Amino acid sequence: MHNNFKRDDQMQVGLIGISGYGGTQLYQLLKHHPHIDNIHLYGHDLTKAKPVNQVIPGLIHESGTLVPYDANQIMAENDVVFFATSAGVTTKLAKPFLEHDFPVIDLSGDFRLKSGAMFTKWYHKQAPATAWLQQAHYGLADFSSAEQSNYIANPGCYATATLLGLAPVVMHQWIDPTSIIVDAKSGTSGAGKQLSEMTHFSNTNENLQIYKVNQHQHIPEIMQQLQCWNSDISAIQFTTTLVPLTRGLMSTIYVKVKTGISEQQVEQSFEQTFADKADIHYCHQKLPMVKQVVGTNYCDVGMVFNPVTKIITIVSVIDNLIKGAGGQAIQNLNQRFGFSLNQGLSLEPIWP
């Protein structure tokens, strides 16, 4: 590998895309990471340098500067680069980093799928070359290690909450593999800073808007990972509803249990699966609310077994910008560079 960063060094990191909500959150986390010395900011569509505090209304107290994008400069100045860019950008920009085997953590969806055809189908954009897609690591950090990878595709927010909630049930063989239904709810920060009718305050407030039923672009990455865990699963039902809050995501999941499986077996699977996961908090039958994780890197999961319908209701909650974006990117950084998994992620919930 190109990169010769040593565990005891302090890192230099690059970030492209600080002006998006995920990028801002990632920047705030990087600032407090004990192994990071400097964060260099690049704007992929800038022609001249610009102060951070003129670009992001929420970062008015920052003194840093965004400079125009230059791949060679980025590789020269940093040990790793983060892309918090929107769909389609890294497809165009990643080439030099891949060619130099330079460490990249990509928060966009461009490199999450192994199949370029699937990417094009769900994202309606040109896909990266298949060889590169194959090489990229899908960084669901609590269940995989980015240790050996130099291109890490950070999972989507809906995918993260849903996969972590489903892990115990799909890894074991006690569910009807055709029965998975996901009813996910998210606040507006997941939709980004781009203005839209759906996120205009007068439209979002006092409203519930269901969208992209069976068409959400996180569906294929969920399916891809589920099939790694359990090849019997051939499809899921997946729905997203926009609710009037800014931060937070709840994935409510319904799964039918095979005949003969007891509540105790189900309970045990959850306990065992999460036993060694520091950032996944299993709440047993006390279903979690969104607010208990907002501001943190936790994914809290609860579960209720219905003996009449044999359906278990799983509730998985995350802060979509932390566990669902910037926080998990830090976990991937930690794995890749040999730091402990939750380094820099000792965060406090926003309460109230």
Query: Which residues are known to be catalytic?
Result: 157
HSE, side-chain direction, 13 A CA sphere, residue 93:
27
- Strand, coil or helix: 327: helix
Question: How far apart (Å, rounded) are the C-alpha atoms in residues 137 and 157?
Answer: 17
Binding region for a second copy (CB under 8 A) out of 40-48, 110-118, 205-213, 225-233: 205-213
Per CB under 8 A, does 59 bind a second copy?
yes
H/E element, 21: helix 21-31
- Strand, coil or helix: 81: strand
In degrees rounded to 5, what are phi and psi of residue 149? -110, 145
In degrees rounded to 5, what are phi and psi of residue 220? -65, -35
Which residues within the stretch 147-186 sit at the binding site for a second copy (CB under 8 A)? 178, 181, 183, 185
Per CB under 8 A, does 199 bind a second copy?
yes
List 141, 164, 266, 294, residue binding a second copy (CB under 8 A)? 294
Question: How far apart (Å, rounded) are the C-alpha atoms in residues 188 and 174?
Answer: 36
Nearest CB to a second copy, comparing residues 90 and 188: 188
HSE, side-chain direction, 13 A CA sphere, residue 28:
21
Per CB under 8 A, does 50 bind a second copy?
no
CB of 72 to a second copy, least distance (A): 31
Per CB under 8 A, does 61 bind a second copy?
yes
Question: How far apart (Å, rounded) are the C-alpha atoms in residues 305 and 347?
Answer: 31
In degrees rounded to 5, what are phi and psi of residue 211? -150, 160
Closest CA to 288 of 251, 329, 317, 322: 317
Per CB under 8 A, does 202 bind a second copy?
yes
Closest CA to 284 of 300, 265, 297, 307: 300
Question: How far apart (Å, rounded) are the C-alpha atoms in residues 94 and 99?
Answer: 9
List 24, 160, 269, 320, residue binding a second copy (CB under 8 A)? 24
Question: How far apart (Å, rounded) are the C-alpha atoms in residues 86 and 107?
Answer: 9
Per CB under 8 A, does 352 bind a second copy?
yes
Nearest CB to a second copy, comparing residues 26 and 146: 26
Nearest CB to a second copy, comparing residues 10 and 309: 309
Question: How far apart (Å, rounded) are the C-alpha atoms in residues 203 and 196?
Answer: 10
Which residues within the stretch 223-252 sit at the binding site for a second copy (CB under 8 A)? 235-237, 239, 241, 243-248, 250, 252
CB of 70 to a second copy, least distance (A): 27
Token pair 């997946």 is found at 238
Nearest CB to a second copy, comparing residues 68 and 244: 244
Per CB under 8 A, does 289 bind a second copy?
yes
Nearest CB to a second copy, comparing residues 252 and 332: 252
Per CB under 8 A, does 351 bind a second copy?
yes
List 4, 6, 47, 60, residue binding a second copy (CB under 8 A)? 60
Nearest CB to a second copy, comparing residues 10 and 207: 207
CB of 237 to a second copy, least distance (A): 5
List 200, 265, 268, 338, residue binding a second copy (CB under 8 A)? 200
Question: How far apart (Å, rounded) are the C-alpha atoms in residues 250 and 236?
Answer: 17
List 69, 143, 229, 254, residue binding a second copy (CB under 8 A)? 254
Supply the Cα-derived Rg of the chain in whole angstroms: 20
Question: How far apart (Å, rounded) are the C-alpha atoms in residues 3 and 59?
Answer: 31
Binding region for a second copy (CB under 8 A) out of 38-46, 102-110, 152-160, 196-204: 196-204
List 274, 298, 337, 339, residue binding a second copy (CB under 8 A)? 298
List 73, 203, 230, 343, residue binding a second copy (CB under 8 A)? 203
